[in-house]
């Protein structure tokens, strides 16, 4: 286990993946409040049941290591099949945390599956009236995108509460959520630090609203009213445990739905364990599948970003305008995401 001092040690010495914020950037009209040391934050389980050993304890540990005070959702330890309690119970925790004036932000304890099941049960009038940072990834994508579509305020695609909050994750959260900076995320220096080289698919720069997350969840929500408008957006994608043909199928779905053709740029992050496990399987590599769908778009695109089911993943400001530089493989945040 990483000790508390190690978890917080990067605040004063920021890593090479960030640059100073650009001055004079226009602010978004609706923003959540920034986090402050000592703030109370909600721990919720909107998807799969919290059943792994010490999972909830790990989430509490990391939140406290950040200098925050965790407040557990009423139903966070419940289980209904593979879900963290009934749909109504999980939705009730989310509604309560957004309405609670003591709670400054929300962390999803874990992902899995189930977030999309609660979307129709959420009190959207209350959520819109109380914008707060929601932090998490994987299945939490359903909530990020629904908030982008209905709430109109930014959220953070980053580690879940029980994930390992290592240096890059913590420092990007600090700059986005605590100090309200507009950093540059990614780039060659970051790739060297984490040992994950990226690659440019189509060079150039593009700007737009940053939207995306888990490819499977985006595919699941396609054709529903819970997706935001992707016109002119910078799309980011990640996934886990998906064979190449399934990634092919989901990217094709985005293409046929008109999403890919509407974009300003694309960032494909990490697809962890995304290979066909059948012995002697013959087909395309993941890179070939990604290039087949994204290269013909002719828009700035790069792959290999530090996003997804990996250690040291970056926190990303979902719903905020960014500038993508596909040659440098960076995302430059164009406005602070918090007040």
Q: Which residues are catalytic?
A: 138, 238, 309
Specify the long-range contacts of residues 83-87, CB closer than 8 Å, at least 24 apart: 83/47, 83/48, 83/49, 83/113, 83/114, 83/117, 84/45, 84/46, 84/47, 84/48, 84/49, 84/50, 84/109, 84/114, 85/45, 85/49, 87/114, 87/117, 87/118, 87/121
- Burial state string for 221-245 with b = 16 or more CB within 10 A and e = fewer than 16: beeeebbbebeebbbbbbbbebbbe
| Residue 335 · residue 182 · CB < 8 Å | yes
Contacts with 182 (C-beta within 8 Å, 6 or more apart), sequence order: 21, 22, 25, 332, 333, 334, 335, 336
Cα 209 to Cα 125, 253, 264, distances in angstroms? 23, 21, 9
What crossing angle do the helices spanning 244-256 and 286-294 adopt, rounded to 10°? 10
Q: How many helical (H) and strand (E) elements, i.e. helices and strands, does the chain have?
A: 10, 14
| Residue 75 · residue 35 · CB < 8 Å | no
Radius of gyration of the chain (CA): 19
Neighbours of 111 (CB within 10 A): 25
Half-sphere exposure of 102 (CA within 13 A, CB side): 8
- Could you give the CA distance from residue 214 to residue 184 in angstroms, rounded to a whole number? 22
> What helix, strand, coil percent values describe the chain, rounded to 5?
30, 20, 45
How many residues in the chain? Answer: 339
């Amino acid at each position: 286990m990483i000790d508390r001092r190690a978890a917080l040690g990067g605040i004063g010495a920021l890593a090479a993946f960030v640059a100073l914020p650009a001055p004079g950037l226009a602010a978004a009209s609706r923003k959540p409040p920034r986090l402050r040391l000592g703030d109370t934050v909600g721990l919720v389980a909107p998807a799969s049941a919290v059943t792994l050993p010490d999972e909830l304890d790990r989430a509490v540990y990391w939140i406290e290591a950040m200098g925050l005070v965790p407040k557990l959702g009423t139903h966070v330890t419940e289980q209904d099949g593979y879900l963290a309690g009934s749909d109504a119970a999980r939705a009730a925790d989310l509604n309560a945390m957004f309405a609670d004036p003591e709670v400054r932000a929300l962390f999803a304890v874990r992902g899995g599956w189930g977030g999309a099941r609660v979307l129709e049960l959420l009190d959207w009038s209350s959520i819109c009236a109380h914008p707060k940072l929601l932090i998490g990834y994987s299945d939490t994508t359903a909530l990020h995108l629904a908030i982008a579509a209905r709430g109109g305020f930014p959220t953070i695609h980053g580690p879940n509460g029980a994930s390992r909050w290592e240096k890059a994750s913590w420092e990007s959260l600090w700059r986005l959520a605590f100090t309200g900076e507009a950093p540059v995320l990614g780039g060659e220096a970051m790739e060297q630090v984490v040992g994950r080289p990226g690659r440019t698919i189509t060079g150039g720069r593009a700007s737009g609203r940053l939207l995306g997350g888990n490819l499977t969840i985006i595919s699941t929500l396609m054709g529903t009213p819970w997706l935001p408008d992707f016109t002119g957006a910078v799309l980011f994608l990640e996934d886990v445990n998906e064979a190449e043909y399934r990634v092919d199928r989901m990217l094709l779905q985005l293409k046929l739905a008109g999403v890919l053709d509407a974009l300003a740029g694309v960032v494909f992050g990490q697809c962890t364990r995304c290979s066909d496990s059948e012995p002697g399987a013959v087909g395309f590599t993941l890179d070939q599948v990604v290039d087949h769908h994204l290269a013909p778009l002719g828009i700035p695109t790069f792959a290999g970003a530090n996003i997804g089911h990996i250690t040291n993943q970056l926190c990303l400001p979902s719903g905020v305008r960014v500038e993508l530089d596909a040659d440098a493989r960076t995302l430059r945040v164009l406005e602070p995401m918090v007040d």
